[in-house]
């Protein structure tokens, strides 16, 4: 009897609750508050990111410049400032359930140790700090119901925006020159940096999804019937 009732309830849930997407902004906001607290409590406010390497050339009239940039020991910081930046939805197609979301970090900071050269002009090896004013993270989590719990799997997580970027190597006139050079080179490295951050965030998020009972935190799964 329990199995039959459970099957019927699940069928009704699929046919009624998921005919359209359901807006779940309030629920995602509450989830993110818990995520932010956990990040701070467990010392997970930063993640490592991959090295950056770029060869560049610049020409202005008869002036030609070329150089290289290699950045290592990268860390993405302030993950605990994660917030929702757009609508979040709960939906289903057939027997697949999903939560889609748009997020961002209020205080995204990236740190590297970089070695840069501009031939015949400057050469330096410094720690740099990159602050990002505007960023966007888009993703989707698929859900599989198992009794009273729901297992989650990360389907997509992409950092698709890094704007208002400022690069700092320190104070003084020499550092300002370094900042200007790195700011110009960054435009050519932006794609690689977005890819690196997305990759590391996917790894970090995937390893932690299993500890979340999405059935408990998204009541639409159980209260729609």
Q: Specify the pTM.
A: 0.76
Question: How many domains, the chain?
Answer: 1
Q: Which CATH number is 141's domain given?
A: 3.15.10.50
Residues 161-200 have pLDDT tens digits of 999 999 999 888 888 888 988 888 888 888 889 998 998 8
pLDDT in tens, 72-111: 999 999 999 999 999 999 887 766 788 899 999 999 999 9
**HSE-CB of 165 using CA atoms within 13 angstroms:** 22
Which residues, 6 or more positions from 148, have their beta carbon under 8 angstroms from its beta carbon? Answer: 215
**Boundaries of domain holding 203:** 2-223
Judge contact between 50 and 200, C-beta under 8 A: yes
Report whether 112 contacts 106 (CB < 8 A). Answer: no
């Amino acid at each position: 009897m329990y199995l039959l009732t459970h099957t019927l309830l699940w069928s009704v849930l699929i046919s009624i609750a998921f005919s359209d997407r359901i807006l779940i902004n309030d629920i995602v906001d509450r989830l993110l508050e818990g995520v932010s607290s956990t990040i701070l409590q467990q010392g997970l406010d930063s993640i490592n990111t991959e090295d950056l390497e770029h060869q560049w050339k610049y020409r202005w009239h008869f002036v030609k410049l070329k150089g290289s940039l290699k950045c290592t020991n990268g860390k993405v910081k302030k993950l605990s400032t994660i917030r929702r930046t757009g609508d979040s939805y709960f939906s289903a197609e057939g027997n697949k359930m999903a939560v889609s979301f748009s997020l961002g970090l209020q205080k995204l900071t990236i740190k590297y140790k970089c070695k840069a050269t501009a031939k015949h002009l400057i050469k330096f090896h410094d720690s740099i700090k990159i602050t990002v004013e505007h960023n966007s993270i888009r993703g989707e989590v698929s859900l599989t119901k198992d009794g009273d719990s729901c297992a989650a799997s990360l389907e997509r997580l992409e950092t698709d925006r890094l704007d208002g970027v400022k690069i700092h190597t320190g104070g003084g006139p020499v550092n300002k020159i370094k900042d200007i050079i790195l700011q110009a080179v960054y435009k050519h490295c932006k794609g690689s940096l977005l890819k690196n951050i997305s990759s590391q965030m996917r790894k970090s998020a995937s390893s932690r999804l299993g500890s979340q009972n999405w059935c408990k935190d998204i009541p639409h799964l159980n209260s729609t019937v």
